[in-house]
Structure 1
Amino acid sequence: MPHTMQEIPTKPFDGQKPGTSGLRKRVKVFQQEHYTENFIQSIFNSIEAKGSTLVIGGDGRYFSPETVQTILKIGSANGVEKFIVGKDSILSTPAVSNIIRKYKANGGILLTASHNPGGPDKDFGIKYNVSNGGPAPENVTNKIYENTKTIVSYKVIEAPPVDLSKIGEFSYGPTKVSIIDSVADYVVLLESIFDFPLIKSFLSSHSNDFRVLFDGLNGVTGPYAQALFVDVLGLPKSSIQNCIPLPDFGGGHPDPNLIYAHTLVDAVEKDGIEFGAASDGDGDRNMIYGKGAFVTPSDSVAIIAHWADAIPYFKKGGVKGLARSMPTSKAIDLVAQKKGFEYFEVPTGWKFFGNLMDAGRLSICGEESFGTGSDHIREKDGLWAVVAWLNILAAANRESPNRLVGINELLYAHYAIYGRSFFSRYDYEEVPSAGANALVAHLNHALDSGSLTNTTHKSASTGTTFTVSGLYDFAYTDPIDKSVSKNQGQVITFSDGSRVVFRLSGTGSEGATVRMYVERYVGPEASAEELKRDAAEGLKGLIEVALELSKLKEFLGVDKPTVIT
């Protein structure tokens, strides 16, 4: 069919700098005339678009369907040979990574702002992934940004909109468009990794004393949860809730933590559910929360690493290495040391894990921001982590047939071997940028002057004293590509092994977000009572000292964090 291509004059917009998580702004920013088109054309100006195959998907948030049509128009005009698109523009971030790798696509464009709220007055995002299925590295995102600053026009093809609700192959001018089932390939992937027969047997034999509840938070994972938990594992439909993807996530905040995932927390507490889990808007994060048991992301990835042999994928292929982001607690380091695995501490950002995976040096990794994953794809994977826990619990109960092993039993058994890293994160969201920068400057001054080193500080409420042993700004030299990442977070260490980390986050769309991470380690020789203490109680004195040293409340002008996890 003949087609018409047009070149539309435009001018650059300020601030279209993408990070590892892409470009995130309010929807109304993306809706400005030429704004979205400029950024998409800048992506195509930065890659080998002609003759390429690209995947398009996203979390279904507001403004996604329109943006898919824009990508098709501009991509076709720039010579893309084929687009693989999720039905109704829906594909979770892990599913996109899998499809890029499975079908050997050249990359993918994800329409997501991850765990940020959605809706006409909330957030939207566009992210580019490369051919390994992972987030674009800095050399690519920097190139995209440079193109956004010099763009003078974008190309579009004149063609009717593609019906995104129909699975099949379609012609779109000179380009092929394949609309695929959003879920099928991902389910096949997980069935190749985990022992589904074992999980199904465990769940059916314990249907009365081990109930499961998964909360999709009205994000992208709802259809995946239906397929995995109901269709494959045979759980009742009551085992999933909030599993219809909505453009505004039902007015909620699709971030799986104790504050925002209150629909899960409330249901678990009300009904005493033994195993609860939630995922975020685009499906790459997870939370494990059961009756009387919250699993920190740091503990979660450590326990998965410890039990790796129970998962067929690792039993067959072995564990090549373990890793965590710098703010994440050192619990996984202890597993690596005990089992003789190589392990890494990297900056926040999944691309650093991806480099290690591509080099064959990493199998299991995690970030404290509820991101856990492995080398099966090149993104963190929320449902992978949930099914991993079910696989591990099924294996643990096979080894202990006379008593039910639940979440807490797994946690306490782990602490008895490795000790416990009490860990918490305080998020201060949308605070004034000037105050956040002043906090950073204050810590940098202490670092440069050495004024905090060897000083002793006493908690007013607990009477515990903490002596500062050092302060540094975390930097990382990638062992694979030798790139250097600086200014990745300021770390205060204490003589008892405790540490506090401060980071400015770039995942918000307005203002600044400051995150404070606190970690205190207690060895396995401690009493059972100490190892089982409430995390808030175990960290109380350290948190007080951290707030005092940093003068955080003074700089940010706030008394309490937005979220505590």
Structure 2
Amino acid sequence: MPSARDIRFGTDGWRAVIADGFTYENLRRVADAAGRVFAEDRPGGVIIVGYDTRFEAGAFAQAAAEVLAAHGLKVRVSDRPLPTPALCWSVAHSDAAGGVMLTASHNPAKYLGFKLRMEDGGASPVSFTDRVEAALRDEAPDARGAFETVDLVGPYLEALRSFVDGEAVRAAGLRVVVDPLYGAGQGYLAETLTALGVEVTEIHGERNPGFGGLHPEPIPPHVDAMRRAVADGGFDAGFATDGDADRIGACDRTGAFVNPHRILALVTRHLVEGRGMRGRVVKTLSTSVLVDRIAQHLGLEVATTPVGFKWIYEQMVAGGVLIGGEESGGIGIPEHVRERDGLLMALLLAEMMGQRRMGLGELVEDLLAVTGPMEYLRRDLALAQEVKDAFVARMPSLAPHAIAGLPVKAVVRDDGVKFLLPDDAWLLLRTSGTEPLVRIYAEAPNAGAVDELLAAGERLVLGEDD
């Protein structure tokens, strides 16, 4: 069995392959360490535990609950699979000291993970996860405690319905396709939209722990079935959520994908112009300059963080944040909860369509008329370990004068290495915090330039064009 030093918390929690690194023994060790820290901060406090739709996730959640309870904590476990934002909302709107979510989010079905949440429902900061790592022991604990099973879904869905303008959504007469990608959002977004008068067709909504071979990340090609269903069926839009439903992807009535950058910009504009809200906008450094441009248009301040919602959460704790989001589709509004919520973002898009009497594609066109066009793509490289290690060793010294024929104006090394180029174009190279990948991100005014930047980025990663 791996020693304690082999278990590490990444961008958002500890994740491993089920029955390989993610075993009951390792889970109990992590739950034991988390229980020690929670009990030190709030002796006898309440901890809420949730889980997604992956293989054995419910059983793993109960095993974690028994270990947490053995530390004198009062543990409440969801009576069914639920989205991570439902767990976070439940923690924030209760007397809980924190929460634990058993999920691997957007990672493939073979993974499972252990996310920690603070008493306000937000992601655990590095200072907290460092304490949990330090509390890990090589031996799995023997002690077990009792826990309570509760409904965490009903109150959360009611909160979602009350957050949006139900009359505007109802009056729009929308027909949409919902694709939870077999994840924890199944049934819940469809149920909520239906209650608001939307005609909904849900796909990939049945229980399938293997996710039907789909990768539960709401981006192409994983959402192509949704895009076809929308275009072929004459629907108004499609909304997709990831494995634990904290991320959002969408398409317009033609089936054209609406990426998370544009969703973040759209929702930001809607909160200000449609709801009269104000505040700072927080984005990760892998997120589009469209967000900066719409914020400037609206007179809002923008803060940029490393990749990972925990950094956005820290900004939310500091106060004054209107909205925070990342390129992966995780977008959160602290007035709701200091966490991402894919279901809420879908509802706000529907609200926007209803209030403005515009289709999703028209809303995007109207946005780009204000911000100007920008295109974005990400490429994930699965590399042999020695190739990845060689790139990591070279990364601090990468300093090309030009990339894809464009002069490098500046280099940012806050998280990976990001090259700033003319006309707001950029290229970012970084290793994934949750998977054995190197990610290449690029943005430019046109798709051809983005393709050239991605190809140049791949050469840099492979050491072919240093």
TM-score by length of 2: 0.92
1:155 offset after TM fit, Å?
4.1
Q: How does 1:149-228 map to 2 (within 5 A)?
A: 150-152=137-139, 154-157=141-144, 172=146, 177-180=148-151, 182-203=152-173, 210-228=174-192
Q: Is the 8 A contact 1:499 1:518 kept in 2?
A: yes
1:295 aligns with one of 232, 237, 258 = 258
Residues 255-290 of structure 1, C-alpha deviations (whole Å, 9 max, x = no match)? 111111232123123324320111011010111112
- SS of 1:363's equivalent in the other structure is strand
Is residue 433 of structure 2 the alignment partner of residue 506 of structure 1?
yes
Distance (whole Å) between structure 2 residues aligned to residue 514 and residue 113 of structure 1 = 18
Residues 266, 553 of structure 1: alpha-carbon distance in 2 compared, 3 angstrom cutoff: farther
Find out whether 1:436 has 2:388 as its counterpart.
Answer: yes
The equivalent residue for 1:44 is: 35
CA distance in 1, matches of 2:403, 2:171: 55
Which consecutive residues of structure 1, in runs of 5 or more, have no partner in the other structure? Answer: 1-9, 159-171, 204-209, 398-404, 459-465, 475-487, 522-537, 557-565
CA contact (8 A) 1:443 1:550 kept: no
**Contact in 2 for aligned 1:63/1:124 (Cα 8 Å):** no
3-state SS of paired residue (1:217): coil
Given the superposition, is the C-alpha separation of residues 195 and 305 from structure 1 closer, same or farther in structure 2, using an over 3 Å criterion?
same
CA distance 1:72–1:444, change in 2 (3 Å)? closer
| Alignment equivalent of 2:46, drawn from 25, 49, 53 | 53
Letter in 1 for 2:160: L
Question: Residue 31 and residue 141 in structure 1: after superposition, are their counterparts in 2 closer, same or farther (change >3 A)?
Answer: closer
Do the aligned partners of 2:169 and 2:198 also contact (CA within 8 Å) in 1? no
Q: Which residue of 2 aligns with 1:353?
A: 312
What runs of 5+ residues in structure 2 fail to find an aligned partner?
A: none
- Which amino acid is 2:311 matched to? F
Q: Is the 8 A contact 1:350 1:378 kept in 2?
A: no
Alignment correspondent of 2:356: 396
Q: Counterpart amino acid of 1:133? A: G
SS in 1 for 2:428: strand
SS in 2 for 1:106: strand
1:67 counterpart (34, 49, 60) = 60
Q: Deviation of residue 437 (structure 1)?
A: 3.1
For residues 21 and 411 of structure 1, the distance between their equivalents in structure 2, rounded to whole angstroms, comes to: 30
**Corresponding residue for 1:34?**
25
> With structure 1 as the length reference, what TM-score do the two structures score?
0.77
Aligned residue in 1 for 2:15: 24
Q: Which letter does structure 2 place at the counterpart of 1:263?
A: A
Aligned equivalents of 1:457 and 1:35: distance in 2?
45
Q: After superposition, what is the alpha-carbon deviation per residue over 1:301-337, rounded to whole angstroms, capped at 9, x for unaligned?
A: 11111121465xx43xx22211111010111111221
1:545–1:332 distance in 2 versus 1, CA, 3 Å: closer
Post-superposition shift, 1:34?
2.4
Q: Which residue is equivalent to 1:544?
A: 452
Q: Could you say if the C-alpha distance between residues 514 and 50 of structure 1 is closer, same or farther in structure 2, counting changes exceeding 3 Å?
A: same
Aligned residues of 2:376 and 2:450 also touching (Cα < 8 A): no
Aligned to 1:241: 203
Task: From 62, 77, 82, give the equivalent of 1:85.
Answer: 77
* Partner SS state of residue 186, structure 1: helix
Q: For residue 55 of structure 2, what is the amino acid of its counterpart?
A: Y
Contact 1:439 1:551 in 2 (8 A): no
Please, which of 301, 304, 310 is the counterpart of residue 267 of structure 2? 304
Q: Give 1:277's aligned residue.
A: 239
Choose the corresponding residue for 1:381, options 333, 341, 362. Answer: 341
Q: Which has the larger radius of gyration?
A: 1
Determine helix, strand or coil for the equivalent of 2:82. coil
Query: Which residue matches 1:144?
Result: 132
Q: Check 1:413–1:220 CA distance in 2 against 1; reply closer, same or farther (3 A cut).
A: same
Distance 2:396 2:314 in 1: 30
Q: Report the alpha carbon displacement of residue 431 of structure 1 after superposing the two structures with TM.
A: 1.8
Question: What is the deviation of 1:220?
Answer: 0.8
1:198-249 alpha-carbon deviations (Å, 9 max, x no partner): 101112xxxxxx521111111111131232022x12334x522222343222
- The answer as to whether partners of 1:77 and 1:155 remain within 8 angstroms in 2 is no
RMSD over aligned Cα, in angstroms? 2.3
- Superposed CA deviations along residues 458-500 of structure 1, whole A, max 9, x for unmatched, are 4xxxxxxx222232312xxxxxxxxxxxxx1211122333111
Q: Report if aligned partners of 2:379, 2:454 keep a CA contact under 8 Å in 1.
A: no
Question: How many angstroms does 1:387 deviate by?
Answer: 0.7
1: CA distance, partners of 2:403 / 2:331? 36
**Per-residue CA distance 1:345-385 (angstroms, 9 max, x = gap):** 11111122222222322111211112222111122111111
* Alignment-derived partner of residue 128 in structure 1: 116
